[in-house]
Structure 1
Amino acid sequence: MLKSLFSITALCLAISGCASKPEFQQITYQYDSKEHSGTVAVTETTNVPDEQCTDRWRDERTYQPNGVQQITGFRIEIQFLDHSPDTYGNLIKVELPSNHGRDVLVRDFQKDKTLMVDVDKNGLVKQGDLFYFPEGYFVRAAQPQFNDENLSFCLGVDRTYVPAAELKTPNPLIHLDRLNVRFNGKPGVEKTFTFGSVQPISVNVRAVPL
């Protein structure tokens, strides 16, 4: 169950190649995880207009590839620019077909981690609580459109992590930083989005027709 909303602020998100910077909202809330240990703190940065992507576009049916090569839609490239030596500069490429209605393309790049927290050393034996959490990225894309000379689609990028300082506490807080945008740009032209909370990150995004 979602805990009470405790912060909604407006901010400008830097987008390279744009003459004007659209206003984004940053929404923060917490919920108790049913799949992992502890509480998840969500920081969502969004510019999604209601008329373009509904509030719950990410919850639509998941797109299931049927093995047939797609000939309509976009090829999306996303590069992660974070503070991790394991993922900085990583580039992913996904294909988003345009003939599947509101179906959502999903790609899971998270890894489950298990650590011991609140450790008490008793002689040579360490005792503590096991803490489970996901770490990494989860990407969603949906509703591709051709608007004049531009390509447009709903894009969601989630990054989940636990800062090192949190792991030293009895009840670590899992951070989920979410980018929720309506991408709109010319084919092949890269845009940079910056989002996050404790560990702000940037992603470079571009799309080309299939």
Structure 2
Amino acid sequence: MRKIALGTSAVAIVLGGCATPQPTTLTSYSYASEQHSGTVLVEETIAPSAFGCARDWREGKQYVPTGIHSMYPFKFEVQILAQGPGKDSDDISVSVPAHRANPVFAKDFQKSVTWMLGTESNGMISQGDLFYYPQGYFVRARDLSIKDNTLRLCLGVDRMYVPADTLGGTDEPLIRLDRLTIPFEGKSGETYRYTLQGAEPVTLTVKVDVK
């Protein structure tokens, strides 16, 4: 069950070569997960754009490769580099085929992480509470189109993590899920930059080519 924690506010996102931060909508809520440990705090942001993605664009039927040639003979090569402060960038690029049914393309870059919290030692044996969750990025894409050499798609980037400085301070660390929707509109091969907001902001460098 989702519990609304906050309303909306303005945050800054840098788009393309723009020097002035542009406002976007931020919505926060939390929920108790049934798939892994702990409570998840979700912060959703929507990047500014000349068009908008439908509110439920992520919730459609997921794309399943069949080996059958698509009736729309093109695909978007979406290069995404995610970089946090002082860290190497993570390559979370995806190749998104066009499809007449317009399914949601999804790719999971997450890895399972397990911690032992509240550890107590009794001689050679240590006991504690097992804390586990999927850490990393999850990418979704949908609604591909090309018009007058302009490429459009709805692109979603999620990042789940627990800030390192919170792991030792509590027996129930709060899991963060930062979620950005990008109504992407741009030229093939051009580079655009966005900020994935959260406790640990990440810069996303995005470039889309059509094949």
Q: Is TM (by shorter chain) over 0.5?
A: yes
Q: Which residue of 2 aligns with 1:145?
A: 145
Note if contact 1:63-1:100 (Cα within 8 Å) is conserved in structure 2.
no
Note if contact 2:23-2:48 (Cα within 8 Å) is conserved in structure 1.
no
Q: Which residue of 1 aligns with 2:16?
A: 16
Q: Which residue of 1 aligns with 2:121?
A: 121
Q: Cα RMSD (Å) of the superposition?
A: 2.1
Percent of pairs with identical residues:
38
Task: Return the letter of the residue paired with 2:77.
Answer: R
Question: Matched residues in 2 for 1:187 and 1:25: separation?
Answer: 27
1:187-202 superposed matches below 5 A: 187-202=188-203
| Structure 2 residue 75 is the aligned partner of structure 1 residue 77 | no
Mark the CA change 1:22 to 1:34 in structure 2 (over 3 Å): closer, same or farther: same
Q: Secondary structure at the match of 2:5?
A: coil
Task: Return the letter of the residue paired with 1:79.
Answer: L
Note if contact 1:38-1:174 (Cα within 8 Å) is conserved in structure 2.
yes
Question: Matched residues in 1 for 2:127 and 2:58: separation?
Answer: 40
Mark the CA change 1:165 to 1:21 in structure 2 (over 3 Å): closer, same or farther: closer
Q: Secondary structure at the match of 2:109?
A: strand
Question: Matched residues in 1 for 2:141 and 2:60: separation?
Answer: 11
Please report how far the alpha carbon of residue 117 of structure 1 lies from its aligned counterpart in structure 2 after TM superposition: 0.6
Q: TM-score, normalised by structure 2?
A: 0.89
Mark the CA change 1:19 to 1:131 in structure 2 (over 3 Å): closer, same or farther: closer
Please report how far the alpha carbon of residue 101 of structure 1 lies from its aligned counterpart in structure 2 after TM superposition: 3.4
Please report how far the alpha carbon of residue 96 of structure 1 lies from its aligned counterpart in structure 2 after TM superposition: 1.7
Question: Matched residues in 2 for 1:46 and 1:52: separation?
Answer: 9
Q: Deviations over 1:38-90 (max 9, x none)?
A: 100111111378x74211111100011222466323111111112585xx323
Q: Secondary structure at the match of 2:167?
A: helix
Task: Return the letter of the residue paired with 1:153.
Answer: L
Please report how far the alpha carbon of residue 106 of structure 1 lies from its aligned counterpart in structure 2 after TM superposition: 0.4
Instruction: Report which stretch shifted further, 118-127 or 32-41.
Output: 118-127
Mark the CA change 1:52 to 1:15 in structure 2 (over 3 Å): closer, same or farther: closer
Q: Secondary structure at the match of 1:158?
A: strand
Q: Which residue of 2 aligns with 1:99?
A: 99
Question: Matched residues in 2 for 1:66 and 1:198: separation?
Answer: 39
Please report how far the alpha carbon of residue 148 of structure 1 lies from its aligned counterpart in structure 2 after TM superposition: 2.3
Instruction: Report which stretch shifted further, 182-191 or 59-68.
Output: 59-68
Task: Return the letter of the residue paired with 2:117.
Answer: V
Task: Return the letter of the residue paired with 1:188.
Answer: G
Aligned residues between the structures: 207
Note if contact 2:160-2:177 (Cα within 8 Å) is conserved in structure 1.
yes
Question: Matched residues in 2 for 1:102 and 1:10: separation?
Answer: 31
Q: TM-score, normalised by structure 1?
A: 0.89
Structure 2 unpaired stretches of 5+: none
Structure 1 unpaired stretches of 5+: none
Q: Which residue of 2 aligns with 1:206?
A: 207
| Structure 2 residue 39 is the aligned partner of structure 1 residue 56 | no
